[in-house]
Structure 1
Amino acid sequence: IYFYVTVRPLWVRLQGENHPLSADNTYELDCEAVGARPPPMMNWWKGSIPLRNTRETTSPDGNTTTSTVTFVPTMEDSGKILTCRATTPLIDDTTLEDGWKLNIHHVPIVSLELGSNLNASSIREGIDVYFECNIKSNPWVYKVSWRHNGMTLFNNASVGTIVSNQSLVLQSVSRARAGLYTCVGSNQEGDGESNPVYLDVKFAPVCKPGQQKVHGVARQETVRIQCELEANPQEGIHFTWKFNNTAEIIDIAASYFTTDRARSTTSYTPMTELDYGTLLCWGRNDLGVQKAPCVFHIIPAGKPDGLQNCTILNQTAESLHVECTDGFDGGLPQEFVMEVYDAMTQNLVTNVTSRVPAFTISGLESGIGFDISLYAANSKGRSDSVPLHAYTSKAAEKRTGWSDKPQPPEKCTITHQTVSSLRVGCYTPPEVLHHNHPDDVPTTYVLQVFDAETRHLVASATSQMAGMLEITDLPATYRDLVLSVRTVTAHATSDAVSIYTV
């Protein structure tokens, strides 16, 4: 005789500890019911919503039933109750359950907005601007950072940048502060970046940097002078032109120039010596009149000035690379020439012509000395030559360890900067210095300064000490600069270390 006894569960328990769960991750959670006969019905609930992705197993003795749920929590599940229930259908009121209050961790949800009392369409130079970073995060963020056009901003009261946790204040905002801003909240789950907010800064016209300021022109020859401005808004700019030859200032009638948004062009023909001088260009928009005019010097055309800061940046067994800084172009388009002569015979080996003062030649014979002549030329003539001496290494030297490509300097930082000068200090570890440059191989460190927008070489300097690279004649017309530092030996040049500055 067999007796079937129906017994309700003794207990129901969720297995493990109720730890925080990460949103959007997949988890398998177990619930155990003990003592029921026959095996109970097991089900899972998230709040009032049943969960379907479950499976059950029963121990060989039939005493323990384990239910497993596969669960992907979301951020909205935090605070809800996850419940496991076991029921014996043949017995009334036999349901037992166990539950956990869910604590769901997630990457910060971040939104950014402009200060509530600011009108995004009427922000002009000189006013204070602030942003508010709104964050929803579990766990709470341990850091809030700010970015301008993808670059991290730091608290710097001296330039009017005030970072205060979830607020960013830009004091006396300038046009350079325009662009996309975001804030980033960071917690143990990751980094959450906000929506971008574009800061549109309105400003009165200013001269666009990088324009040709000196024009060489012969008498009775016509030259087109183009005046380009930066302004916001650019629509409706009213231009004014004047001519100044020290004896008098003459207004130029509007019929003698054309206007296209932020650009105005005039044609000018000097007829006598008194027609040489300066052309002045102003603009006016809704924000006001340009404070300082754009100045264009009209001079008799002449030959260009000589090249400056010419440096051999790389010389191998068969090639040479030389870069210079150009001088005044004589008011006319110029080109640059490098002539290479055999140092022994003075025979011309090769010459190179370039639109920029940078030259590379290859296919040279190894182990030979060369005299190099560099100059600029335009339609009025050529400048004085700049001499250099170089040599190609012997072919066998390419296989020796000490002629390998040197390591670039490390930890390069700007230690001093003014409008017209800057100083850069780098560090080269002694073991790297000895390995790459033995005592009998001279080492030079080369600093080059480029305009960040055009990549035009502005200035350069060399030093035997990595910790002291200095330039004292920076042109004031450039704002954003890129600095490049290299290690140069007689046999090779290192990769460049770049530093950005404003």
Structure 2
Amino acid sequence: MFTYPVFIKLTGPEGEMSDGNNYSFQCESEGSNPPADLEWFLKGKKIPNPQVLKSGNSSSSNLSIIADYRLDGENVSCIVFNKELKHKKLISNHTLSIQYSPILKLTMGANLNSNKIIQGTDVFFQCSILSKPKEYKVEWYMNDERVEENISAGIIITDSSLVIQKVGLMAGGEYGCRASNIQGDGYSNKIHLNILYAPRCSRSKGSHLVPIRSRRNLTCSVDSNPQPSSYYWSINTTGQEFKLLNQTEGFLDLSTIETEGTLECFAINSIGEMQKPCSWTAVEIGIPDPPTQCKILNQSVSWMDISCNPAWDGGLDQVFHLEVYNSSPFTLIRNISNTGAPAFTVKRLEPAQHLTMTIYSSNAKGRSSVIEIESSTSKLAAAVLSDGVEEADRAEVPLGIILGVTSTLLIIIIIILLLILARRHRGESMPSDEEMEIRLSTNLLEKSRETPILTSSSLLSKPNQLERQGQKNAGKPRLLDSTEPEPGISDGRFLRSCTGTPDSQYLLHGDEYTNNEAFKEDDYKIYSPDEDTDTFSDFERKQFKGKILNPSVRNINIKINPNYM
């Protein structure tokens, strides 16, 4: 006996779905005999060939879809039926709710063509946004740089629109908008804003003088969008006579100009005629003007760069000259000429040199007046290089090295002063004597022929009678570490070396050291580089005294045989 399905259940993801993710749905049916057939529908369209599992009077099927923002609000439907009893069907729907990052489209206001925006008109952009959930931020960009609202400058921003009032030439470029929600950021298409404007003069800086009756062409250099379609030229002579020249191109042959006056050119394009013409003063050929705005750009120990702006060339090819004079004595040491530009590099100068430099131009008609600038090479460099360092071209000592050497010297001086102060602070009284005495105190930590050790403390000294009379530096000892014996002395190592005068008194304690050799002569000796060996005497409790018998001895070296202790 055939029976209808009596139950249908459609399950799917709960809550919001995210655009781009994969989701599964399941449809179940019971009560049908034979088991019910099953069909899936998405957005009202049947999904072909579903996989259906049948068992007893039950049927089930699974459906997998990728969420797409265009399916938001649409239904996934499951229909079950007994194919033997087709006139009765059960249907279950699941409405999709899909969240997605903003989708943007940028457009311009009505009657606006982004490729034909005339300078001075108002421009309106609209950013259309499709977003779920709603966007919380909208930003505008021009050439990938953020556009900020500036009402006084005519830039007005609302939630999804941008208005630029009376656009100028700087407003040209690519525009776009960006919006953000919790699903992410969305970017619009880009619109290039092309600003059209009438020609304007773009002549480079320099002299406005041009030579009449010369073999040169004068170019009417202009900026415009679109390019100029025509030109015209005029001349106002010194007698205030205006004359329109027979020339419609962007250049003028100066050989056709025979009178002095003011030359002007005008350019025209589809937007209009230039409001202010390019103008020159037409004059007779003559001597050039001197270069202007001369300055030293770079300077080192023995070289410098000098640059100027060219001036009126007199209507002829000109040459630029630099003469460098040593101030004391006043002698010419360099003479440099350039034809391309008034730019010079002066090499192989001496440190601490005061220089006077004259700069001028010349042409076939003569020489301009001169301008003078003064400068000096580094005095600090002279001190550093005074030992004869030789420089070649630009391989000189950089200023950073000079400063580094100076800083190092200052640090060394400070360290020496601190050491002197520290040693003075550590001084203690000693009995005065006409002879220099040396006490050597040793503390034997380990008695061993292989690794004998002496421990050390410090050298203490006190100025003698000469110091008490005001000569504070006289006779003050200087402590020198030494780990190698003097030449010719082979048995043992010196602990310390001490330099002073017979008027100074010392108490010496040795540093740690090892020595495997035993002395073959007396145990404690005083060695002098210039004198015969003198010996110690009178020892008790490991305290040893010795005297320098020759008062002219100033340098003594002490060594010890610890094996005797």
TM-superposed CA distance for 1:193, in Å, is 2.4
Aligned residues: 370
**C-alpha contact 2:233 2:263 (8 A) present in aligned 1:** no
**C-alpha contact 2:52 2:59 (8 A) present in aligned 1:** no
Inter-partner Cα distance in structure 2 for 1:282 and 1:33: 81
Which residue does the alignment assign to 1:282?
Answer: 266
3-state SS of 1:184 partner: strand
- The answer for unaligned runs of 5 or more in structure 1 is 1-5, 404-502
**C-alpha contact 1:112 1:182 (8 A) present in aligned 2:** no
Which residue does the alignment assign to 2:129?
Answer: 136
The one of the two structures with greater contact order (alpha-carbon pairs below 8 A, sep at least 6) is 1
3-state SS of 1:76 partner: helix
Q: 1:68 to 1:309 in 2, by over 3 A?
A: farther
Q: Quick one: which amino acid aligns to residue 12 of structure 2?
A: L
**C-alpha contact 1:160 1:170 (8 A) present in aligned 2:** yes
* 2:202 is the counterpart of 1:208: yes
Deviations 1:309-329 (CA, angstroms, capped at 9, x unpaired): 43328x6x9x97857452535
Which residue does the alignment assign to 1:411?
Answer: none
Inter-partner Cα distance in structure 1 for 2:360 and 2:193: 44
* 2:240 is the counterpart of 1:248: yes
Which residue does the alignment assign to 2:280?
Answer: 296
Q: 1:369 to 1:384 in 2, by over 3 A?
A: same
Deviations 1:321-369 (CA, angstroms, capped at 9, x unpaired): 857452535456667788999999999799796956777899x99x967
Inter-partner Cα distance in structure 2 for 1:167 and 1:108: 15
Deviations 1:156-210 (CA, angstroms, capped at 9, x unpaired): 2333333334333333344x1563452313123323223425444343x432242
**C-alpha contact 2:217 2:252 (8 A) present in aligned 1:** yes
3-state SS of 2:218 partner: strand
Q: Please, which of 7, 11, 35 is the counterpart of residue 13 of structure 1?
A: 11
Q: Please, which of 155, 179, 195 is the counterpart of residue 172 of structure 2?
A: 179
Which residue does the alignment assign to 1:328?
Answer: 311
Inter-partner Cα distance in structure 2 for 1:356 and 1:57: 91
**C-alpha contact 1:239 1:264 (8 A) present in aligned 2:** no
* 2:242 is the counterpart of 1:265: no
Q: 1:170 to 1:31 in 2, by over 3 A?
A: closer
Inter-partner Cα distance in structure 1 for 2:46 and 2:402: 74
Q: Quick one: which amino acid aligns to residue 107 of structure 2?
A: L
Which residue does the alignment assign to 1:223?
Answer: 216
Which of these two proteins has the greater Rg computed from alpha carbons?
2
3-state SS of 2:152 partner: helix
Which residue does the alignment assign to 1:48?
Answer: 44
RMSD over aligned CA atoms reads 5.5
Q: 1:45 to 1:184 in 2, by over 3 A?
A: same
Which residue does the alignment assign to 1:311?
Answer: 297
Q: How does 1:26-425 map to 2 (within 5 A)?
A: 27-31=21-25, 45-50=41-46, 67=62, 69=64, 71-83=65-77, 97=92, 99-116=94-111, 124-126=118-120, 128-139=121-132, 140-149=134-143, 151-174=145-168, 176=169, 179-188=172-181, 189-203=184-198, 205-210=199-204, 213-215=207-209, 217=211, 221-232=214-225, 234=227, 236-245=229-238, 247-254=239-246, 257-259=247-249, 263-268=250-255, 275-284=259-268, 288-299=272-283, 300-312=286-298, 322=305, 324=307, 326=309, 328-330=311-313, 355=340, 375=359, 377=361, 379=363, 381=367, 384=371, 386-388=373-375, 389=377, 392-393=396-397, 397=401
**C-alpha contact 1:308 1:327 (8 A) present in aligned 2:** no
**C-alpha contact 1:9 1:40 (8 A) present in aligned 2:** no
TM-superposed CA distance for 1:296, in Å, is 0.8
TM-score by length of 1: 0.54
TM-superposed CA distance for 1:65, in Å, is 7.7
**C-alpha contact 2:215 2:253 (8 A) present in aligned 1:** no
- The answer for unaligned runs of 5 or more in structure 2 is 382-395, 408-565
3-state SS of 2:204 partner: coil
Deviations 1:191-242 (CA, angstroms, capped at 9, x unpaired): 3223425444343x4322426552354x753432222233455454341311
Inter-partner Cα distance in structure 2 for 1:402 and 1:39: 100
3-state SS of 1:281 partner: strand
Inter-partner Cα distance in structure 1 for 2:48 and 2:222: 67
3-state SS of 2:149 partner: coil
**C-alpha contact 1:146 1:181 (8 A) present in aligned 2:** no
Inter-partner Cα distance in structure 1 for 2:17 and 2:358: 71
**C-alpha contact 1:109 1:194 (8 A) present in aligned 2:** yes
**C-alpha contact 2:143 2:174 (8 A) present in aligned 1:** yes
Inter-partner Cα distance in structure 2 for 1:53 and 1:64: 15
**C-alpha contact 1:115 1:132 (8 A) present in aligned 2:** no
Inter-partner Cα distance in structure 1 for 2:309 and 2:227: 33
Q: 1:312 to 1:211 in 2, by over 3 A?
A: closer
TM-score by length of 2: 0.49
Inter-partner Cα distance in structure 1 for 2:354 and 2:52: 88
Inter-partner Cα distance in structure 1 for 2:145 and 2:310: 34
TM-superposed CA distance for 1:135, in Å, is 0.7
**C-alpha contact 1:306 1:326 (8 A) present in aligned 2:** yes
Identity %: 16
Inter-partner Cα distance in structure 2 for 1:276 and 1:377: 23
3-state SS of 1:158 partner: helix
**C-alpha contact 1:222 1:267 (8 A) present in aligned 2:** yes
Inter-partner Cα distance in structure 1 for 2:47 and 2:351: 82
**C-alpha contact 1:156 1:162 (8 A) present in aligned 2:** yes
